[in-house]
Each structure stands twice: as structure tokens, then as C-alpha cells.
Structure 1
């Protein structure tokens, strides 16, 4: 059943990217804390999204209602590493590197869409150190420190007065992780509840507006989250598993001061998100096992941001694990139906507040993941 554990956890981790709210790209699972002995894993993911919309109002003689945006987001890759080691019969530690959030916005420049040529990127790297303590009643308590390094930049040609550009410093700040788990290995049962605290960055930024560049400062919070993960055996060599994740995205806001005076917030979210995943894993023999997963994030309604025009999703995934001695290799793929969204015309445009700028419909993404894991 350990082989089935690995398959399910790997699929949820390596191919869940690009299917969560806000700018979230990966969710560090605490599953490696339950691996035997010394354990090392490498995860690689590739995501190919297709997100395009249609302008809903006329703003000029060329930028008219019905103008297509073209695909406004680029393909991207993800990398994560995990290492776990026992320190005693009751104490273990883990180190995790991941890239928890990101954005790669690039509206095609060869259209008449109002955001044509707009670009934005957010890059993050996170290091987490955890300590896990096993109690006598099948319970375990874990916690640790998480450091997140973040930077970003944006270019918006449509802003009156010559466009707008902004770049930030790279800031590294700290949060914490706490959680508790319960397991019954003889029936392949496990439940864990994990809390990640918010991490606040104070950025130095260079803003260029109307041909004039100024050095400014602003703060952005990577939001807190709670993740519930569970699994249990239901028959010989068969496992069901799932997770529920809440993220406080209503606290996320990117508002550089000079841009705020011209057009409000660059990025903000009115609602939190809850993401659900369920799956079933099956060991076929000592070498091969596989899994299927279904994920869903409900829509929240209202306007979505022009730099992230999506609202909820549904995802179907599959994975296969090959076991050779102490090594396990898992490959997974996930197809994601991205929820339809409407975006609002920014304050810089001469239209009433609450006017729909564009409608984004029938979009999707394909995510593929590979995990190589080794028990020493």
C-alpha cells in the first residue's frame, strides 16, 4: 500500500499546479513526513494554459466590441524538492523547496484588444523546514518555519500618458507551518490538517507613469491557508484519498501607490477560495500502480482581474507509478476546465465603474508532472 500512497500524493502535488485560486501554483504536501527512514524526492511540472477572451465594449475605432484577446498566459514549468530523515524513533525532520505562487501574463501585442502588449510576472521560491513528533496514540504533531522569496514586474501599454511599468525588489520574508496528523498503517488510513501562516512582503518598487519614474514602496501579503488531507484503504491494494484546501485570497492585493492614483489596484481578489480533490489509487503488482483524481474549485462570481481572468475550475487527472527497488518514478497528467469569467474596465478608462470589459469563456489547461523518489 505504500506504493499507492506515493502515487496518490504525487499526482495531487505534481499535477495540481495551475488549478488553484489566486496565483497559487503548488501546494507543499506533508505526505513525505510519513515516508519510512530517509527519503528524497524531486518533482517537475509543466503547464500549458489556454486563456483568451472577447472584448465586451467599444473603446476606440479599432478596439471594438468583439475584439479577441488571444491567449494571454504563457506556458511555464515548476520544480520542487523534498527531503525527510528520522532523527529518532519519535522525531523526524523534513526540508521542502517549492515555487508556491507565480504569474506569466503576456497579452499578444498584434491584436486590437485593449490589453494588447500587456505583460506581468510574479516569481516565488519557498523553503520550508519541518519537525514531526510521533505521539503514543497514532497521532503526530508537526511544525516549522517557511521562507518565501518573491519579486514581480508589470508593463501596461494602455494606461493613458505613455503606459505604465513597474518592477519590484526581491524580498524574502518568513512565516510558519503547524499541523497534526493521525494514521493507522495497517488499514492505510491517514488524516492530516496543516496551517500555513501568511507572509507579508514590503517591496521597494520603481514605477514609470507618463514617462516619469519614481521609487515607491508597497506591501503585499501571501495569504494564510488551511489544508485537510485524508486517505484510507478500502480493499486489498486499493486506496481512496482526497483533500480540501482553503486560501485567504481576499487578503491578497498588489497596489503600487502611483498606479493606485491612476487606475486602482493592479491585482486584488474579493473572495477566498476552497479547492477539493478526490482520488482512487490501485496497486496492480509489485512494480506498477496507478491513480485517478477529480478536482473542483467552485466559482465565486463577480469580476475577475484582467491579469488573471479565471473563476474556478474542474480537473481530471491520472498517474502511473513504476517501482524498482527503493526508487519510485511517477508520471501524471491533468486536464483542467477553467471557469468562465468577466473582467471589469479599469478606472483609467472613460466608462462607468462596474462596466464589463471582456468575457473569458471555454478555456483550459494541461498540466503534466514527474516525480522521482528514493528511500535510503
Structure 2
């Protein structure tokens, strides 16, 4: 029996990853090292359509926000080579984080929402080279380096927003302050390492992976530098055969999102009447993301899986360019494979947690994600 196909069905469809950790879109890439075969290549794509809308909080001006999260696609490409019985190598290109936010309506003074016409975009790319050494039949260690690029642009429009006080004084009656910034990709090097314990006869594998932070330096409109940290993480993967042709699998991922913020020095809030330099985006606390799934082989060519995803709703105030707080996801996936190739398709429904920002409440939101993965062994 090929347990690897069942594991791939459930674990590579990015079930719920559309909302994990706020802007996180891809997790730990190390599991490619465990694919079977001398050479293995895979390509994956996920299309996500979130529906995130809210209404003004009591006492806050503005109309409903409309749907602020844009549909997006996320891509990944990986190659694994089995050098010998002990050593395997892998290379992965993916997009670890991202954001696509648009307040489509007019501004507050045009009868729209508090942040009407505001936009935010985050783009990333990650190149990861890894190696795994099999010390014994049951124990292995692995590690590698990542080269991570991060860029973004934003336009913040609201009655309480502006740039440096010299160029954007506090907005008066009937006016709206604005702030815009675009930064090119900044590349930084990170690292990862991990260890795994396996009992092949029952498809048991437990693997723990650490990924370091990367700290990216940008310049605001005045040329002053500010740093954006993509935080460190730990991920625990586990799987085991529990009956003939049946696999139980899951993961727990922790990431230090409390260290994340975007705080250019020339951005100011005038909500208290006096200019105050505040972060545009920020994380309120560390995030745990859980997955639990079961896979079943139907015959030699077909298998399927069901996966639950969960991220706790913290109840903390989130940024105005986010609008989400935790999720529950439900994913079904089906794999068709032959001796040399396999295709997996999956569909996720994401129940997005209620969230509160400084001026709006986001309730009863959800999303749909579709994933496709194609793998070839040679």
C-alpha cells in the first residue's frame, strides 16, 4: 500500500491556509523531503475567494465596508532528488505570505465607509533549498536555507489618517486624509531545521520543523527606514496508519505573529486630535493553527481525504486592513495516481471568525478555496 499518496492528499492542499496567521498563505515546505522516488516534481495552485465585510461600530462614522478581501491565487513548485539511501535534496519556490485588500466603496465624506477607497497589497516569494539525512531506518534530520523576498503597496484613506504633519495636517470638516506608500522587494536569508521519527510498516511519521524569522528593511516616503519582521515558527507534523488503507494525519503550527507590524515613521493617526505615529498593520499575539485529517484508499488509483482546520478567535482588536480573526475550515480532497504521476484536487469551505477593528465589526464571513496539485516521479 502506498501511504504517501494518502498523506499528500490531505496535507498539500493548503486547507484553510487562506486565512492562517492573518497574511500567511504557505506553511512549512520541508515535507517535500519525504516524498518517495528518486526524482519527484510537483506543482500546486490554490484559488481563494474570501468574503469579508463589516459595518461601522456604534459611534463610529461610515457606511458598511463591503467585501474588502480580493480573490487571489497562490502557487508553489518543488523538486526532490534522492541522492542515495541516506541523503535527499529538495528545492521549493512558493509564496509564503500575501494580502489583497480593497475598500471598493466611496470615502466617509462621500457617504461610504470609514476607510473607503483604501487598498493594501503584500507580495512575497521564497526560494528554499533543503537536505535530509537518514541516520537510521527510523530517525532522520533535515535543514536548509530560504531566500525570502517581500514587497507591498498601500493607500490608506480616512478622516483620521495622514502622512507627516508638514505635508498632511489633520483633516478638517469635509476633508479626508490619505497616506500612500509602495516598497520594492527586499530579500533576506532565513534558515530551517527539523527532525523526524518514522515506523514505515505502519506509515507512522512524526516531524518537527523550526523556521527562522526574516527581517526586511524598507524606507518610508521621507527616506527613513523601518523594519517588517516575518516571524519564526514551529510546526509539528504527525501521521499514522490506523486501519487497512486508512491514514490519520494532522499538524500543529505556531508562529510568533505578535512580532509582526508595519510602522513607517511618516504615517500618523489624527483620531485623538494630535498626530500619533501608529502601525498600519500589526499582529496582536502568537497564532496556533491546527489541522486534523483522515485519508482512505479506495483502490489502486483513487484515494480521498477529509481535513478539519482550526485557528482560535482571539477576540483582540485587529487592524483595519485585515477584518479576520481565526477560522474553522472543512476540506475534501481526491487523488488519482498511477505509478509515475498523481493529481490531487481539493475544495475548502472556510468559516472566518468574527473580528473587530477600531471602527468596524466584521461578522458572518466565509470563503471558498480550490486547490490543485500535480506530481511526477521519474
**TM-score, scaled to structure 2:** 0.90
Which of residues 205, 223, 228 in structure 2 aligns to 1:220? Answer: 228
- Please give the alpha-carbon distance, in whole angstroms, between the structure 1 residues aligned to 2:58 and 2:180: 25
SS in 1 for 2:76: strand
SS in 2 for 1:192: strand
- The 5 A counterparts of 1:1-376 are 1-11=3-13, 13=14, 15-36=15-36, 37-58=38-59, 63=62, 67-110=63-106, 112-158=112-158, 159-160=161-162, 161=168, 162-205=177-220, 207=221, 214-260=222-268, 262-344=276-358, 357-376=359-378
- Please give the alpha-carbon distance, in whole angstroms, between the structure 1 residues aligned to 2:60 and 2:248: 52
C-alpha contact (below 8 Å) 1:16/1:26 kept by paired residues = no
Return the offset for 1:181.
Answer: 0.5
SS in 2 for 1:68: coil
Assess, with a 3 A threshold, how the Cα gap between structure 1 residues 263 and 54 changes in structure 2: closer, same or farther: farther
- Please give the alpha-carbon distance, in whole angstroms, between the structure 2 residues aligned to 1:40 and 1:284: 24
C-alpha contact (below 8 Å) 1:321/1:330 kept by paired residues = yes
Which deviates more from structure 2 when the two are superposed, residues 262-271 or residues 113-122? 262-271
- Please give the alpha-carbon distance, in whole angstroms, between the structure 2 residues aligned to 1:284 and 1:168: 50
1:4-51 CA-partner distances (Å, limit 9, x unpaired): 12212223x3x3321301210111342221122211100011000000
SS in 1 for 2:28: coil
Return the offset for 1:262.
Answer: 4.5
C-alpha contact (below 8 Å) 1:28/1:98 kept by paired residues = no
C-alpha contact (below 8 Å) 2:242/2:248 kept by paired residues = yes
SS in 2 for 1:182: strand
Return the offset for 1:263.
Answer: 4.7
C-alpha contact (below 8 Å) 2:66/2:105 kept by paired residues = no
Return the offset for 1:163.
Answer: 1.1
RMSD: 1.4
- 1:352 matched residue in structure 2: none
C-alpha contact (below 8 Å) 1:19/1:315 kept by paired residues = no
- Please give the alpha-carbon distance, in whole angstroms, between the structure 1 residues aligned to 2:282 and 2:19: 18
- Please give the alpha-carbon distance, in whole angstroms, between the structure 2 residues aligned to 1:375 and 1:102: 30
C-alpha contact (below 8 Å) 2:265/2:277 kept by paired residues = no
Return the offset for 1:58.
Answer: 4.6
C-alpha contact (below 8 Å) 1:311/1:338 kept by paired residues = yes
Q: How many equivalent pairs are there?
A: 350
SS in 2 for 1:303: coil
1:58-91 CA-partner distances (Å, limit 9, x unpaired): 556xx3xxx2100011000000011100112101
1:136-186 CA-partner distances (Å, limit 9, x unpaired): 251100001011001011101222544110111210001100000011111
Q: Can you give the 5+ residue segments of structure 1 that lack an aligned partner in the other structure?
A: 208-213, 345-356
SS in 2 for 1:195: strand
- Please give the alpha-carbon distance, in whole angstroms, between the structure 1 residues aligned to 2:85 and 2:303: 29
Return the offset for 1:264.
Answer: 0.6
- Please give the alpha-carbon distance, in whole angstroms, between the structure 2 residues aligned to 1:169 and 1:39: 34
**TM-score, scaled to structure 1:** 0.90
- Please give the alpha-carbon distance, in whole angstroms, between the structure 2 residues aligned to 1:21 and 1:339: 12
Which deviates more from structure 2 when the two are superposed, residues 300-309 or residues 44-53? 300-309
SS in 1 for 2:314: coil
